[in-house]
Structure 1
Amino acid sequence: MPPREDDAFQYAIWRVVPSVERGEALNVGVVVYCRRRQFLAARVLVDDDRLRSLSPDLDVEAVRTHLDGMVRVADGDPAGGALAALPQSDRFGWLTAASSTIVQPSPIHTGLCADPTAILDRLLARLVA
């Protein structure tokens, strides 16, 4: 069996920025998009203690709810609302758009992969966990 060809993918890190004034952020998730493989998925990992060390008054449950909604949009889950019904490329654009909310995306990065799910897991472990 010939080796599987790698495909281009894009990803962004989701960060919680409790106080824009302080400029502190904590990585809490990753979203990966691979157009050729029709893959869009996100994973989150929220460390309550680390978030509270940045902002003791932060409503961590509200942050979790927001992130869960973003994962639903990535998954195309109808519970994610109208955005979840958009094509994958549009959903990725929405999930990586600059925003002034408490959850902010990093710049978009690119790479090559044969297995986008494995890449998502590896990025989450390396950049968030």
Structure 2
Amino acid sequence: MQVYEYAIIRYTPKVEREEFINIGVLVFCKAKRMLISSFHLDKKKIECFESELDFDTLKDHVDAFERIAKGQCKISPIGALDAAERF
């Protein structure tokens, strides 16, 4: 048996309204030294909560999450860490 841990990634348009949208998940297994990510951005749903959103900027942030999870982000020192530390 292997232990898997996960973290849900949420987009929070307005913290004071306590609204959020789940946009992704990180899954980690220490024994397998594995960290994977999966994201889905539903533009119409997100724009219902915040019409002034710069969707391209949000997409850039999600892309950074994915690159860090894969250990491909050389710009960030986090990208150079092992899977457990990146998680």
TM-score range with shorter-chain normalisation?
Answer: over 0.9
Cα distance, 1:38 vs structure 2? 1.1
Cα distance, 1:63 vs structure 2? 0.8
In the TM superposition, structure 1's runs of 4+ consecutive aligned residues that sit over 6 Å from their partners are none
Unaligned runs of 5+ in 2: none
Judge conservation of contact 2:71–2:80 (CA < 8 Å) in 1. yes
TM-score (norm 1): 0.64
Residue in structure 1 matching 2:39, options 20, 41, 44: 44
More relative contact order, 1 or 2 (CA 8 Å, 6+ apart) = 1
TM-score (norm 2): 0.93
Judge conservation of contact 1:69–1:80 (CA < 8 Å) in 2. no
Residue in structure 1 matching 2:50, options 51, 55, 73: 55
Matches within 5 A, 1:28-107: 28-79=23-74, 81-92=76-87
In structure 1, C-alpha distance between the alignment counterparts of 2:75 and 2:30, rounded to whole Å:
21
* Structure 2 residue 20 is the aligned partner of structure 1 residue 22: no
Percent of pairs with identical residues: 31
Judge conservation of contact 2:64–2:73 (CA < 8 Å) in 1. no
Aligned to 1:120: none
Unaligned runs of 5+ in 1: 1-5, 93-129
In structure 2, C-alpha distance between the alignment counterparts of 1:80 and 1:90, rounded to whole Å:
16
Give 1:57's aligned amino acid: E
- 1:60-118 deviation digits (Å, cap 9, x = unpaired): 111110011011001001445321101111100xxxxxxxxxxxxxxxxxxxxxxxxxx
